[in-house]
Copies of this chain bind each other. A is one copy, B any other.
């Protein structure tokens, strides 16, 4: 579970609720038609912009944003180096019995194909393709949230316009402007809250997730190619180190090869 996302959403909405309670009741900020037009309208626009299947997959993506366990390249790296050592000493077929014990499906799939004797280029092609689809799926997720974050305030403004026109039509005295205006403004408030405390920052985090995962899978691809080439394990280690930050590198267990 990603603590930052959780902390951010809870504290963000918590602060807004607190600020509201300080100046009056929460009930003043509830307006069913406003909620309906902002949420429904944003969803409707998303349905026009994206195919149904993409919109439905957003829920999965959202869960992803909250529950995602960040992959730890530093735990994977020693494993790949070990595989390279075995492959170099005993031949690549010796990796067969280790495939089952791997926790990372992307790695085990690549090793399996190598054990099967597929050519390095073909393996790379297959893994790259899988990488591209992972990337596209994440990218589309971030895009849908960006679209929702762009149109939610627009729907908020449309709702406020409706409220203003209705209020102004029946207004015969500017003194009565208060409560009607307050209701009209709530729709803008909803659109703004949803975009700025939900859709846009989640889109930002999904973009970072994608970068992390792509980098992680590139490390695995690099490792599998090295294993197949029968590279020296020390060289493999050094190559893969370039995918780690200095902090991650210093957290690696020291090896004596």
**Contact between B151 and A4, CB atoms less than 8 A apart:** no
Please count how many residues in chain A sit with their CB below 8 Å of the partner chain's CB atoms: 90
Q: Dominant SS at the A interface?
A: helix
Chain B residues near A45 (CB, 8 Å)? 8, 12, 196-197, 200-201
Judge if A175 is at the interface, Cβ distance under 8 Å: yes
How many angstroms between the C-alpha atoms of A181 and B164 in the bound complex?
9
How many angstroms between the C-alpha atoms of A196 and B150 in the bound complex?
10
Copies in the complex: 5
Judge if A90 is at the interface, Cβ distance under 8 Å: no
Give the contacting residue for A16; candidates B41, B122, B137; CB below 8 A. Answer: B41
Give the contacting residue for A161; candidates B165, B192, B245; CB below 8 A. Answer: B192
26 A-B contacts (beta carbon < 8 Å)? A7-B44, A8-B44, A8-B45, A12-B45, A12-B48, A16-B158, A18-B33, A19-B36, A20-B166, A23-B33, A28-B165, A45-B196, A50-B208, A51-B208, A129-B241, A133-B245, A147-B204, A151-B196, A151-B201, A154-B192, A154-B195, A161-B188, A168-B177, A168-B179, A169-B182, A171-B177
Point out residues on A near B: beta carbons under 8 Å. Answer: 2-5, 7-9, 11-12, 15-16, 18-20, 22-24, 28-29, 33, 36-37, 40-41, 43-52, 55, 70, 122, 125-126, 129-130, 133, 137, 147, 151, 154-155, 157-159, 161-166, 168-175, 177-179, 181-182, 185-186, 188-189, 192-193, 195-198, 200-202, 204-205, 208, 238, 241-242, 245-246
